[in-house]
A and B are shown apart, each in its own frame.
Chain A
Amino acid sequence: MNKIGAWLLSLRGPLVAIIIGLLAGSIAILVAGGSIAETYTEMWKGAFGSFYFFTSTLSRATPLILVAMGSAVAFRSGFFNLGAEGQMAFGGLSAALIGLHVPGPGWFVCIVAMLGGIVAGGLWSAMAGYFDVRFRVNLLITTMLLNYIASLFAGYLVTYPFKDKTGAGAMAQTQMLEHAVWLPKLFKGMTVHAGFIIAIAAVVILYVYLARSVKGYEARMLGGNPLFAVYGGVRRTSLMLTTMFASGGLAGLAGAAEVLGSQYRYIDGSFASADYAWTGIMAALLANGNPIGSAVGAFFLAALQTGGMGVELNTDVPLEIGSVIQAVLILFITVKFSWRFMRRKKGAIVDGSAV
């Protein structure tokens, strides 16, 4: 009983955040001259209205969940990996290049391409980790800066050496992958692909790893109380390198799954413009790095985005209504609302909300 009560209590904050988000959305809709009820109905329909739309939401959630898992694993150990965008770009590009140039049966190439994506993203991220442990270069800055370098380098590769020259268009992209290499669709005619299963598997594995394994315990300890962890004999250096590799690897896998499952080629800037990386990081931060919570968050954010597209198709309200609601909701979701605040006031207030 108590457990259920505590669980319900923990839902109170997110619920208030959702209400504030929807209210802010309503104001925006009124400003844009739309009808609130109609817009929200269209939004719901766009995200869940039919089986097709529902699977589109799942398909959009796939990379978000994987990126969220990547951020969560680092976050849990007390590291901030803000480099998902670059890791995703490298993962996606490697998968595309392996898919194009490695010979063999389709399923084999597909698996190798995904592993290649994991390795590319993982090494890129582990490099930032190495800079931190070896040279004490701030991880937060390096991961962020490496985003730009990775995106630009990937952009160079698809603009010059690996550019698709078969088409008439001048798009910076690789050639289309062969059909045999594609990740299979889960349902015929729907956009959701096998990458979603992989994403769910990643959530389960990460949950078990963090909750049940010794290494996972060490990781959580390092994130929760670093001093205690070091006294307890946790080897920070190796844990940080493996954590950063796993974190970047998951982001790389997100990129690979996008390429193999829905775009079938690496298109310059397509990940960045969809904002997969930051949305995924957001989802992980919302749930404080809890794998299941992060996955739910990622799914919810994906629903808001596909819902926004439905709104733009069927009403005069711009698509960005989705991102406005999403942002306001996120703004308020980690807020400790007044009941908590009142209680804090009685005790010692800690000034300065350091992370």
Chain B
Amino acid sequence: MDQLFDLALFNSALRILTPILLAALGGALCARVGLFNVGLEGLMLIGAFTAIVGNHYFENTFLAILFAIVCVCAFSLLFAFLSIHLQANVIVVGIAMNFLALGLTTFSLRTIFHVKGAYYDKEMVGLPKWNIPLIKDIPVVGDIFSGHSPLVYLSIVLAGLLWYYFYRTVNGFRFLAAGSNPLAARTIGIHVRRYQYGAMIACGVLCALAGAQLSLGQVTMFTEGMTSGRGFIALVATMLGQSGPLGVLGASALFGFMDAFSIRLQGVSWPSHFTQMVPYVVTIIAMFFFRDKGFIKDAQNAGSSSR
């Protein structure tokens, strides 16, 4: 067991959970205002690609992330416009968004960098690794929490901030009200659409950060379809966490940990197929225990399977 569990495992779990957590928080914001965002995967992929493009042209990681945020926000605004203003089916737009992201990033990879499959440049500098002065020296905590990119720390801070926003601020209450009962919210003068747009833009920012962490955080490269289902996992984390920031944090942590653990299991000569399966199986099992009560209530109200 010693070779399976050690502090480095938690360290890599923290790294793996970051993009999922960021995207899942975006998904939670959207879910809370009634926009079920299936497009997280695509937004994240655009974020990963534009972060690399930005890094290539500006040669500065901060500007690269800024560039990614601007680009992804443009796409999430399009998403918002189509689904909120033009009343398109959110799920259709979300899946189309994933297609568009995959097609557009591959297309642009060929036209901008003239390569197929992956773009990698030795000269390119990724995100810095931070060692937080005091924490670094505490024995156990230091091993887990130091040496990550700033986005890792930011993601956890953002989860806390979102919790504070939702449950401790007036604006956050209005946001939740706009989602849970749009009609009632409008009668007391809440601009529901404004909150929906706000949620989509915030989701864009979060997905851009998630993508940047993927492409600049560890490897400093972009490969076609490099999100490889993480957006869908984030969506699952959103639902498993019942769209509450702390629940989402817990669900993402579960995913990150199981994912890190599954990589570790490969060391004990399990076929990689089964080790990769572990996070998904664990999630399904987890769902038997943490059933989404909200969904059940909705289902009873609607007399249907809630979706």
Contact = CB atoms under 8 A, between A and B. Distances in A.
A binds B: yes
Interface of A: 28, 31-33, 78-80, 131-132, 135-142, 144-146, 148-149, 152-153, 155-156, 159-160, 222, 226-227, 229-230, 236, 240, 275, 278, 281-282, 285-286, 318, 320-324, 326-328, 330-337, 340-341, 344, 350-355
B193 interface: yes
Given A331-B96, A355-B36, 5 more contacts: A78-B307, A131-B284, A285-B92, A331-B93, A336-B87
Contacts of A321: 107
Nearest to A17: B88
Interface stretch (B7-15, B60-68, B202-210, B290-298): B290-298
Contacts of B96: 282, 327-328, 330-331
A32 to B, nearest CB: 5
A352 B107 contact: no
Given A28-B107, A145-B280, A149-B280, A137 B87 contact: no
Contacts of A286: 92
A327 B85 CA distance: 19
Interface of B: 33-36, 78, 82-93, 95-100, 102-104, 106-107, 110-111, 179, 182-183, 186, 192-193, 196, 229, 232, 235-236, 239-240, 271, 273-274, 276-277, 280-281, 283-284, 287-288, 291-292, 295-296, 299, 302-307
23 contacts: A32-B107, A136-B299, A138-B239, A140-B307, A142-B287, A144-B236, A282-B96, A286-B92, A321-B107, A327-B104, A330-B99, A331-B82, A332-B82, A336-B87, A337-B86, A341-B87, A351-B192, A352-B33, A352-B34, A352-B196, A354-B90, A355-B36, A355-B90
Nearest to A288: B89
B271 A331 contact: no
B292 A138 contact: yes
Given A149-B281, A331-B96, A344 B87 contact: yes
At the interface, is chain B mostly helix, strand, loop or mixed? Answer: helix
B100 A331 contact: yes
Given A324-B104, A327-B100, A159 B271 contact: yes
A70 to B, nearest CB: 15
A335 B88 contact: yes
Given A78-B305, A132-B305, A141-B236, A351 B277 contact: no
Contacts of B196: 351-352
Interface centre among B97, B99, B280 (most CB of A within 10 A): B99
Contacts of A326: 99, 103
Contact of B302 (A131, A227, A335, A337): A227
B305 A324 contact: no
Contacts of A226: 302-305
Nearest to B186: A351
Counting from the closest, the 9 A-B pairs by CB-CB distance are A226-B304, A323-B103, A327-B100, A352-B34, A156-B273, A330-B96, A327-B99, A320-B107, A351-B182
A330 B96 CA distance: 6
Nearest to A79: B305
A334 B82 CA distance: 9
A350 B87 CA distance: 10
A140 B239 contact: yes
Contacts of B86: 335-337, 341
Contact of B284 (A78, A142, A323): A142
Given A226-B304, A352-B179, A137 B236 contact: no
A353 B83 contact: yes
Given A352-B35, A353-B87, A281 B95 contact: yes
B273 A153 contact: yes
Contact of B85 (A136, A153, A341): A341
B291 A352 contact: no
Contacts of A141: 236, 239-240, 283, 287
B301 to A, nearest CB: 9
B99 A278 contact: yes
A160 B104 contact: no
A131 B287 CA distance: 10
Nearest to B112: A31
B283 A227 contact: no
Contacts of B296: 136
Given A135-B288, A327-B99, A331-B82, A153 B193 contact: no
Contacts of B183: 351
A222 B304 contact: yes
A259 B116 CA distance: 28
A330 B179 CA distance: 26
Contact of A145 (B179, B193, B284, B291): B284
Given A341-B87, A355-B90, A78 B95 contact: no
A341 B82 CA distance: 12
Contacts of A139: 305, 307
A334 B107 contact: no
Given A144-B236, A337-B86, A152 B304 contact: no
